[in-house]
Amino acid sequence: MAKIDPRGRKVKILATLGPASRSPEMIEKLLRAGADAFRVNMSHGDHETHAATISAIRDVERAVGRPVAVLCDLQGPKLRVGQFAGGKAVIRHSGHFTFDRDPAPGNENRVCLPHPELFGILKKGQRLLIDDGKLKLRVIQASPNAILCSAEVGGVISDRKGVNVPDAVVPIPALTDKDRRDLAFAIEHGADWIAQSFVQRPEDVAEARRLMGGYGALMAKIEKPAAVDRLEQIVELADGIMVARGDLGVELNPEEVPPIQKRIVAMTRRSGKPVVVATQMLESMIESPAPTRAEVSDVANAVYDGADAVMLSAETASGAWPEEAVTIMHRIAGQVESDPGYRRQVSFAEVEPDTTTADALSNACASIAESLPIAGIIVFTGSGSTARRVARERPAAPMLVLTPSAKIARRLALLWGAHAVSTKDIGSFEEMIGKGKRMALRHGFGTAGSKLIALAGVPFGTPGSTNLLHVVTLTGDELKNREA
C-alpha cells in the first residue's frame, strides 16, 4: 500500500467517523483525501463499535505510514424535558407554559423538567431554549417546584427534547457517569485526545485532567456562554480548544458567534495550543456532493484566522458524500494557503515570545523563514512542546517534527503546519544534522541546494532543553546517497 506524502498544507482536517465512514476501506479513503485525524463521537454507538473503529484507524495508520490522531468526544450532560400524553404538545406563541417536578405526562400547559438543580438557579427574565432553540421561553417566576414561562417563540414540543439554559451557570458536573466510563474506555484504547463537552468553568477542565491521570491530551469544547466568560483560564488548563459553534449558536444570538469564534481562535493561538473550529462547516454535503458558497467561505475564514484544524461532523459520519467532503475541505484549505495575502492574514495574532531560550529560538525560526528561502524547519522534540512553540509563530516554512514518541507524533496530527514522524532519538550534534537531512529528503522537505533550519536541545534527549538552532543546506551528494 502506497505511503501518504506530506499534505502541502498547514491547517489540519479532523473528520468524524460514523456509520458512513467507519469501515477500514473508507477510513483509508478519507486519509488519502486529506484527513489528518479522526473524531469518535461517544454520544452515539457502544463501546464495542468504538473499539472496532479505533482498531481500524490504527490498522490503516500503519499501512499508510502517517501518525493519525484519534479524538474521543465525550457527550457531557444533556438537559431534557419529560414526556407528554400522546408524545407531544403545542406551546402557544405568547402563551404561558410551566416546567415542574411532577412526573405525570405533560400537556399544552406544563411538563416535568427532571433536573431539580435548575429550579434553584433560574430567575425572572432568564431564557429556556427547547429543541436546539426552536422554542424560546422566558422565565416569569421561579420557585423550588415550578418555573412559569412566557413563550416568546412557541411551537410543537415532544418527548425528551433538549433544554438549553444560556443565561445561568448550571450547577451540574461536566462529566456524567457515562462520560467517566467513556473516558476510561478512551484511555484504555489509546485515544490521543479527549474532547470534553459542557465545559462552563476551569474547575470542569481540572476534574477531567485529574481523571485522565496524565494520559493523553485534553481538548475543552467551548459551547456555553459561561465558558466564553472564563475563556482565558480554561485555555490555560486545557491542552487544546474546540470552538463548538453548533451549541454556541443555540445559546447565543447568531450574530454573536463569528466574533466570539475569532476571539477564541486568537486567544488559543497565543497560548501555543491547538484550536479546532467545528460544527456545520460543510453541512449541506450531508446530502449534496457540493457545498454552498457560504460554507466554502466559512471554512476559508477559519483557515485565514489561523485555526490549527477544521472539523467535519455529520458530513463524514453519516452523510452521503464523506470522501468528497474531505476532498473539498482539503482543496479550500490549499487554495487559501496559496493566496499571496494569506501570510499577512494568518499573522494577525502577534505573539510575544516568553522570556525563555526555547521561545526566543522558536521566534527566530519564523523570522529566518521570512528572510531566507527555507524549505523546512526540522524540530527534534520528545514532548512536542518545541513543535507547539514553533507552530505558535505560524512560520512560512513547513515543519518536520522528529520525535521518539509515537504518542506525541499522533497528538501533533492536530497541530498547524506539523508533519510528525516517529523515529529514534539522536545523541550528538553530528547525528542531528545527518538525521535531519535524511528525514527531510525522505519526506519531501527540499532538494539539493535547499536550506533547512534544525531546532533541538542539548543535552539531547532532555525534555525542555531547546537551546540550539542551526541552518543547514542540502547537497547533491546527500541526494545521491538517498537515491542510492
* DSSP string for 26-58: HHHHHHHHT--EEEEETTSS-HHHHHHHHHHHH
- β-strand 88-91 against 451-457: which pairing, if any? unpaired
Coil, strand or helix at 357: helix
CB 476 within 8 A of CB 458: no
Is residue 438 annotated as part of the catalytic site, yes or no?
A: no
For residues 11 and 307, is the Cβ–Cβ distance under 8 A?
yes
User: Which entry of 7, 110, 127, 221 is annotated as an active-site residue?
Assistant: 221
Angle at 417 between CA 35 and CA 401, to 5 degrees: 100
Hey, is 244 helix, strand or coil?
Answer: strand
Question: Is 123 considered catalytic here?
Answer: no
**Catalytic residue, candidates 53, 268, 279, 316:** 279
Q: Helix (H) and strand (E) counts for the chain?
A: 18, 21
Q: Give the rounded distance of the alpha carbon of 175 from its chain centre.
A: 19
Give the start-end residues of each E strand in 68-173: 69-73, 88-91, 96-100, 110-112, 127-130, 135-142, 146-153, 155-158, 163-164
Looking up cell 480554561 gives 234
Q: Catalytic residue at 466?
A: no
Grid coordinates representing 136 are 424560546
- Beta pairing class for 399-403 and 374-380: parallel
Which of 39, 161, 273, 394 is labelled catalytic? 39
Count of C-beta atoms within a 10 Å radius of residue 368: 18
CA gap 369, 15 in Å, rounded: 31
Cβ count near 78 (within 10 Å) = 14
- CA dist list (Å): 482 to 3, 69, 282, 479: 17, 29, 42, 5
Q: How far apart are CA 65 and CA 32, in angstroms?
A: 11
Cell digits of residue 104: 405525570
By CB atoms closer than 10 A (0-12, 13-18, 19+), residue 451 is middle
How many CB atoms within 10 Å of residue 421? Answer: 17
Measured CA to CA, the distance from residue 457 to residue 46 in angstroms comes to 44
Active site residue 279: yes
The sheet that has 451-457: what strands, in order across it? 418-422, 399-403, 374-380, 451-457, 466-473
Question: Which residues are catalytically annotated?
Answer: 39, 80, 221, 279
